[in-house]
Amino acid sequence: MNVFVFDTIQEASQKAFEVFQEALANDAKVFGLATGSTPEALYEIMVNSDIDFTDSISVNLDEYYGLAGDHAQSYNYFMNEHLFNKKPFKANYLPDGTNTDSDAEVERYNKILAANPVDLQLLGIGGNGHIGFNEPGTDFNGHTQLVDLAPSTIEANKRFFASAEDVPSKAYSMGIASILESKQILLLAFGEGKAEAVKGMVEGPVTNELPASALQNHDNVTVIVDKAAASLLSK
């Protein structure tokens, strides 16, 4: 892993933007994207730049189960609001949270990923070490799946909803194996609340109790963090 530490989220996000620029310059065509507060500054930089994704394809990590794409807390809605409506791609793919046939949805999304191998995958990390919605205990050999969200994930995400009871308890997510098939991985983490997970990811043992530690098994990972998220790293 190549780890970069910056004083501010804005500086870190600018570096992440440069990683995207370099990937495009090297003919990357498929970008795996993430949602949540972590990539918001990066997406804002993209929107305000001249970066051109009109020949690119996006595939998203995950989507809440049970939320329609026009629901204000769906990840489809988030991506449209923060990026797609202002920076169009040739095609955008996300899991369909309204598909109650999970086997069919998993098969559909795995076929999309097989047809569109990811050149650069953007990730955040949960306080419990999850990437995508791959919670502690996740099988590293899994591909797309319908997952039960950990109580800590529901607690962390309840700030986006009226109450914890309104947070979906399940989500569709790319699996660890899907993520590791990406040619290049870029992970962002900001804030003291991510410090323990970042330390485990970078310096701890590879264990499915901290899913992000699986990234140690990939040969092209860039980790960009602020000082708070890097505060527990020993080097």
Catalytic option among 60, 76, 128, 134? 128
224: in domain? no
Q: What's the pLDDT score for residue 171?
A: 93
Catalytic option among 92, 105, 119, 130? 130
Q: Total domain count for the chain?
A: 1
d(CA 149, CA 7): 32
Catalytic option among 105, 119, 135, 226? 135
| Residue 120: strand pairing partners | 31, 184
With tokens 């991985």, the residue in question is: 185
Q: What's the pLDDT score for residue 156?
A: 85
Domain CATH for 209: 3.40.50.1360
Catalytic option among 62, 63, 105, 119? 62
141: in domain? yes
Question: Two tokens at 213?
Answer: 């530690």
Q: Which class for 73: exposed (0-12), middle (13-18), buried (19 or more C-beta within 10 A)?
A: middle
232: in domain? no
Q: How many CA atoms within 13 Å lie on the side-chain side of 132?
A: 35
| Region of residue 129 (phi > 0: left; psi between -120 and 50: alpha; otherwise: beta) | left
Domain that includes residue 37, residue range: 2-184+191-215
Alpha helices by DSSP H, listed for the chain, are 9-25, 40-47, 75-79, 102-115, 151-157, 176-180, 195-203
Question: Two tokens at 196?
Answer: 């323990």
229: in domain? no
152-155: long-range contacts at Cβ-Cβ below 8 A with a sequence spacing of 24 or more?
Answer: 152/126, 152/127, 152/128, 153/126, 153/128
* E strands, 55-169, in order: 57-60, 62-64, 91-93, 120-123, 145-148
Q: What's the pLDDT score for residue 6?
A: 98
177: in domain? yes
User: Helix, strand, coil proportions of the chain in percent (round to 5)?
Assistant: 35, 20, 45
Would you call 96 a catalytic residue per the annotation? no
Would you call 22 a catalytic residue per the annotation? no
Triad 223, 34, 131: Cα angle to 5°: 60
Q: Which pairing describes strands 30-33 and 57-60: parallel, antiparallel, or unpaired?
A: parallel
Q: What's the pLDDT score for residue 157?
A: 82
Q: How many CA atoms within 13 Å lie on the side-chain side of 145?
A: 18
* Torsion of Cα atoms, 14 then 79 then 146 then 30, to 10°: -60
225: in domain? no
230: in domain? no
| Residue 2: strand pairing partners | 222
d(CA 109, CA 130): 20
Would you call 143 a catalytic residue per the annotation? no
From first to last of the 235 residues of the chain, give the pLDDT tens digit. Answer: 999 999 999 999 999 999 999 999 999 999 999 998 999 999 999 999 999 999 999 999 999 999 999 998 899 999 999 999 999 999 999 999 999 999 999 999 999 999 999 999 999 999 999 999 999 999 999 999 999 988 888 888 888 888 778 888 999 999 999 999 999 999 999 999 999 999 999 999 999 999 999 999 999 999 999 999 999 999 7
Q: Is the dihedral of CA 145, 151, 155, 161 positive or negative?
A: positive
Would you call 135 a catalytic residue per the annotation? yes
220: in domain? no
